[in-house]
Amino acid sequence: MTRYEEFDSLRGLAALIVLIGHYLMVYPSYANYQYGSNSSYIMYLFKETPLRLFFSSGNESVILFFVLSGFVLYLSVNSAKFHYSTYLIKRVFRIYLPYLVAISMAILAKMLLSQIDLPFITDWFNKSWTGPDTPSLLIEHLLFIGQYNTDAYNNVIWSLVHEMRISIIFPLLIFLFIRKKLKDSLLWLFVLIFSSTIFLFLFGSGGDITSILLSFHYSTLFLMGAIIAKYRHGLFSYTLKMKKSVKIALLLGAIICFMYEGIIGEVDFLNNYIFRDYVVSCGVCIFIFMSVSSQKVSKILRSRMLTLLGKISYSLYLYHLISLFSLMYLFYNKLPTGLILIFSFFLSFLLSSASHLLVEKPCMRLGSYFTRNKQEKAISKDRIGLKRKIG
């Protein structure tokens, strides 16, 4: 399967943006900022200027994760050696086992440190590590893909619930909705987008960020990535031939789409999260084929620093809040908040690097080990069939 290192770097940058946004959320002036308000000039810059791309694009970064996952999973599912059981085992070892280690650490840190009384910081901060550790809550986190309070220990895991659910059924989605002709694939995509939107408007998510209906909605973003993957060669070739001015215009358009929420501000009928997700995903789709088709962009994304960031991106996503909450509970009112955030930043990278080496890599090797026999049997079966045909 072709591996695009540029996509790893995009994931790394997205994980870093999520981290920065969450760290800023400990400041009330940031967390409670309203568009057009008289808050500090710095918060205005972070929220309503192009700087938003780097400081306030956490939700948008998750959309990027979903579209990229659709692209990469399509390449896996479309492989001639695809076997569902092998695919699922590797997916479980890739997502669930590192999650299990991280959530165990979050639960342990919460139990040990949250006994320290902290004054009110922000609504976002205080909705985590403050509730009782009930058996049902612990079991729900263990089972992973159900509907439960994902804010209790590590609030980034809501996106992983959707990621795992959609991964389980993704091969079926590819079989049903990704057709030979592009126009047919796009038609099915629009049907699914329309259907998921209608369901969400009629029934809503009930305020539950792990709602099954939201998984339906996010599955359409996976399919967007899958369609790009299916027609990637034509897209990449076409983009390579574009004039430099057209590429720059496309890239600017992608950035504008990505920052859509910040641009429209409080225009209610436009600031709907469903519509926002699709506008952002259009920008992400442009990022995907531009990251490979533009030599300059590709060179930047293949730089050593960004590829290293990409390698630890999953662990960085999992551990940055554990680091933040732990150090806030340990040092709040003892050290300046800014200094705590700096220490937490470096601790996040230390934990992420350790997790990548000691958890992620061993889990992936285990996944390959448990599926090796299935792959060897499949290869052996193919060879036998070929010999019979020749004979």
pLDDT higher than threshold 50 for residue 63: yes
Closest to 124 (Cα-Cα) out of 53, 24, 261, 204:
24
Identity at 264, one-letter amino acid code: I
pLDDT at 81: 82
Q: What's this model's pTM, rounded to 2 decimal places?
A: 0.92
User: 229-257 pLDDT, tens per residue?
Assistant: 999 998 888 888 889 899 899 999 999 99
Band of pLDDT at residue 19, cut at 50, 70 and 90: very high
**pLDDT tens per residue, range 280-292:** 999 999 999 899 8
| Averaged confidence pLDDT in the chain | 89
CA dihedral 293, 7, 21, 163 (to 10 degrees): 130
pLDDT in tens, 300-342: 999 999 999 999 999 999 999 999 999 999 999 899 999 999 9
- With a cut of 70, say whether residue 379 has pLDDT above it: no
Lowest-pLDDT range, 5-9, 118-122, 124-128?
Answer: 118-122
Burial code (b: 16+ CB inside 10 Å, e: under 16) for 197-235 equals beebeeeebeeebbbebbbbbbbbbbbbbbbbbbebeeb
Using DSSP, state whether 335 is helix, strand or coil: strand
Sign of torsion, CA 8 14 16 18? Answer: negative
Do residues 66 and 163 make contact, with C-beta atoms less than 8 angstroms apart? yes
**One-letter amino acid for residue 202 of the chain:** L
Residue 175 to residue 205: CA distance in whole angstroms: 27
Task: Report how far apart, in Å, the C-alpha atoms of 299 and of each of 131, 291, 302, 303 are.
Answer: 47, 9, 5, 6
